[in-house]
Amino acid sequence: MDKNLERFYLDQFINKSGLNIQVAEKKREKPDFEIVHDSKTKGIEVRRIFKNIRGIGGSGTVELESFRSGILTLAKETYFQHSILPINVKALLSSTLPDGCKGRQDVANQIVRMIEAANLPNQPLRQIRIPGNKVIRVLYATTLPDGITPRWICVDNAVGWSRDLFLVELIGVVAEKERLLPIYKKDYDSIMLLLVADRTKASGMYNLTDPINVVLPTSSFERIYLYFYP
């Protein structure tokens, strides 16, 4: 997972939980972050949980989300190589996309050409709808004031079905992280685990409508937290 995203989830969790945790501004890999909790220095690992896990092959939903996001990242990079007009872009893509790096780049280039051909207004905070084609169904481009960081996102990644979270899924993720505890404990006596379900993405759209009694096998993590974002 992207380090900035991990930090975002951790900060959001701390803010919502009200726990007395301070994150050290220190680069780490294993575990993800150093924290001070109850006046003690500890480590914390941040792990997203996903639907549709295919064993060691990972989640098919996450793979598709990553591929789509990669298209928008490439398009954004290409656009700003020769344009200074800051814009946000929301893209709705086809359910079938060209495979591979070349396919991703081709779609990204199409997005840039569509935006460049559109009559974008110079005034900030104006949105226009750009009709698409079989691959790029529609684009929404919004001009921004100076100083605002542009965001290019794929709307498809936020469209999906929500379902209940199964206890077996939590047990599997915790067991996976348990195997890495000897590495984590080289630097810290106490390690926490933060599991995050990002419900803004189809891969993390879980329900927890009723409290569940989570009984996990004995764990060497000091504490395990489950955070539903947002």
Evaluate whether 36 touches 24 at the Cβ level (below 8 Å).
yes
In terms of domains, do 91 and 169 share one? Answer: no
Query: What does the buried/exposed string (b/e) look like for 4-35 if buried means 16 or more CB atoms within 10 Å of the residue's CB?
Result: eebeebbeebbeeeeeebeeeeeebeebbbbb
Evaluate whether 50 touches 203 at the Cβ level (below 8 Å).
yes
In terms of domains, do 69 and 100 share one? Answer: yes
Evaluate whether 43 touches 31 at the Cβ level (below 8 Å).
yes
In terms of domains, do 147 and 104 share one? Answer: yes
In terms of domains, do 88 and 144 share one? Answer: yes
Domain that holds residue 140: 60-158
pLDDT digits (tens, 9 = 90+) for 141-195: 999 998 889 999 999 888 878 888 887 788 888 888 999 999 999 999 999 999 9
At which of 111, 131, 158 does a domain end?
A: 158
- pTM of the predicted protein model: 0.71
As for how many domains the chain has, the answer is 2
In terms of domains, do 198 and 154 share one? Answer: no
Give every CB contact of residue 177 below 8 A, 6+ residues apart in sequence.
45, 47, 193, 221
In terms of domains, do 45 and 70 share one? Answer: no
